[in-house]
Chains A and B, each alone.
Chain A
Amino acid sequence: RKEVEQDPGPFNVPEGATVAFNCTYSNSASQSFFWYRQDCRKEPKLLMSVYSSGNEDGRFTAQLNRASQYISLLIRDSKLSDSATYLCVVGDTGRRALTFGSGTRLQVQP
């Protein structure tokens, strides 16, 4: 079983749609949680950190459920520029490492 699991997609949605990504993680001792965005053949870039209280940044909302070991990302009013791979990432303080999911590919269509 992978430490961080995501649906690989692709998610093909029209502009303006709302899309949700989910991810589960296996290490209950994980301390930090993130969503990264990665464009084709580019480096990952931090989209947002994820907190138990939930957090929002413009059209993006992230949620963390520690009891279920589940992380979500909601994108509202999708733009063409949102097309990318979204990586669910968990911080392992013990190993001093980030553990990445395989990513979910989003394609927003005109």
Chain B
Amino acid sequence: DAGVTQSPTHLIKTRGQHVTLRCSPISGHKSVSWYQQVLGQGPQFIFQYYEKEERGRGNFPDRFSARQFPNYSSELNVNALLLGDSALYLCASTKGVGTGDSGNTIYFGEGSWLTVV
């Protein structure tokens, strides 16, 4: 079975540009979450989507947005890129809404490495 798939794996953007990152969850999983991991830090929560609705939002500016499609795949969009947006962007997949408690294990994709220059 395919795991969580993310694309692109690596990309370089210029300050002020826009980026779209994509994620396909594990088959049968209806929830997708996005995390940002800056070098030397743990991942930080950005959004959770379940059944196409936003169910949770972290402390990120409005330049960050996301959506979930009927097939449960998701996009993360970041506008007006800053140097500080350079990070590994991780997508996490779960069956339902939740935080990894019993029966709802969270699986991460390999991530998208974004470099802003």
A binds B: yes
State the A residues within 8 Å of B (CB): 4, 31-32, 34, 41-46, 49, 87, 89, 91-93, 95-103
Asked if A98 and B106 make an inter-chain contact with CB atoms under 8 angstroms apart, the answer reads yes
Nearest CB of B to A5, in Å = 11
Q: Across the A-B interface, how many residue pairs have beta carbons closer than 8 Å?
A: 70
Asked if B43 and A96 make an inter-chain contact with CB atoms under 8 angstroms apart, the answer reads no
Chain A, interface SS category: strand
Q: How many residues of B contact A (CB 8 A)?
A: 27
Whether B28 sits at the interface, judged by CB under 8 Å, is no
- Which of A44, A93, A96, A101 gathers most chain B CB within 10 Å? A96
CA A57 – CA B104 in complex, angstroms? 19
CA A93 – CA B58 in complex, angstroms? 13
Asked if A93 and B98 make an inter-chain contact with CB atoms under 8 angstroms apart, the answer reads yes
Nearest CB of A to B39, in Å = 10
